[in-house]
């Protein structure tokens, strides 16, 4: 059996920006410490929620370096190094490995996409270039393509490919992956509203947006599942469902950064083309946060 990178709740951490649009590293340090202090099991840096798609190459590398150094082995750090350019994904993955990450998160190629045979070649050549364990990222809603179950099974035989972040929203598909891949791949939920269903099928945890603002509670949902107390975990999942839905009422990470700003956390604005959150949705988000018992003070 392959080594599991983490169990429980990993935060898909946001990248805070200063008013001039530069990365707020002091704020990122505070956010990493807040996550660790509140039970988060791993940090995922430079993922979708971290707005890696609008980072320069230098920013991407520096952000990974900073997260590794500041976390300082307290919990695992997983770096998003996927790309629709195989050569660049290799280059970035090799660099992240040199920087000392504990895992790599590789999204399926987007826009140009590929075939299932192309996916196998793409992920295999990246995995052959590093020794760091890899989590594949299946999110067809953003990339326009799905990793077939048979493709995951084939990729699961590679020693460096150890897990999949499953964000298709299709629980039947996830069950098929669990049945086909067995001990070949760990499964992590990529959706906060499906933590309990996916973990009930043997999933090891979640890579979470919700954890940015409720790290302790997201960890607890996962821990209850790991303790086989799915009744209590399900009750928590339902308790926070309205907030989870509000966090995705606009394109991620627009709502979660708004929520963080409302809580006085370091977040700042999203980089264009992501726009400021609409007023009606801000009101919806604040209402959901208050219902969840969060101390919101309205920020204009």
Active site residues: 137, 165
Between vectors from CA 256 to CA 95 and to CA 36, what angle results, nearest 5°? 60
Residues forming beta bridges with residue 107, ordered by sequence position: 137
Contacts of 154-160 with CB under 8 Å at 24 or more apart are 154/120, 155/119, 155/120, 155/123, 155/124, 155/127, 155/185, 156/181, 156/184, 156/185, 157/184, 158/123, 158/124, 158/127, 159/2, 160/127, 160/128, 160/130, 160/131, 160/132, 160/133, 160/134
Non-local (6+) Cβ contacts of 251 within 8 A are 274
CA distance 142 to 107: 10
How far CA 151 is from CA of 36, 138, 164, 177, in Å, comes to: 35, 12, 12, 10
DSSP 3-state assignment of 178? helix
* Residue 166 DSSP symbol: E
CA distance 117 to 280: 44
Paired tokens of 173: 């598909």
DSSP 3-state assignment of 72? coil
């Amino acid at each position: 059996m392959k080594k599991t990178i983490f169990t429980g709740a990993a935060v898909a951490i946001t990248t805070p920006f200063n008013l001039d649009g530069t990365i707020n590293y002091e704020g990122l340090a505070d956010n990493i410490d807040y996550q660790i202090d509140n039970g988060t099991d791993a940090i995922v840096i430079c993922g979708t929620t971290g707005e890696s798609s609008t980072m320069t190459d230098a920013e991407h590398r520096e952000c990974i370096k900073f997260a590794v150094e500041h976390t300082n082995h307290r919990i695992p750090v997983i770096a998003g190094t996927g790309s629709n350019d195989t050569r660049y994904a290799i280059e970035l993955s090799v660099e992240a490995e040199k920087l000392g990450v504990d895992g790599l998160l590789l999204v399926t190629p987007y826009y140009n996409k590929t075939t299932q045979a192309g996916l196998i070649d793409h992920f295999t050549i990246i995995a052959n270039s590093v020794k760091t364990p890899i989590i594949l990222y299946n999110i067809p809603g953003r990339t326009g393509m799905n990793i077939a179950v048979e493709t995951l099974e084939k990729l699961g035989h590679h020693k460096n490919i150890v897990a999949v972040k499953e964000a298709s929203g299709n629980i039947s598909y996830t069950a098929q992956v669990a049945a086909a891949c067995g001990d070949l791949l760990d499964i992590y939920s990529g959706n906060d509203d499906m933590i309990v269903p996916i973990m009930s099928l043997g999933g090891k945890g979640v890579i979470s947006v919700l954890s940015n603002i409720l790290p302790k509670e997201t960890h607890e949902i996962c821990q209850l599942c790991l303790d086989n107390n799915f009744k209590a975990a399900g009750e928590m999942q339902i308790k926070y469902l309205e907030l989870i839905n509000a966090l995705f009422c606009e394109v991620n990470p627009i709502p979660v950064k708004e929520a963080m700003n409302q809580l006085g956390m370091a977040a700042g604005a999203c980089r264009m083309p992501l726009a400021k959150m609409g007023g009606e949705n801000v009101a919806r988000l604040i209402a959901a946060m208050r219902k969840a018992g969060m101390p919101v003070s309205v920020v204009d």
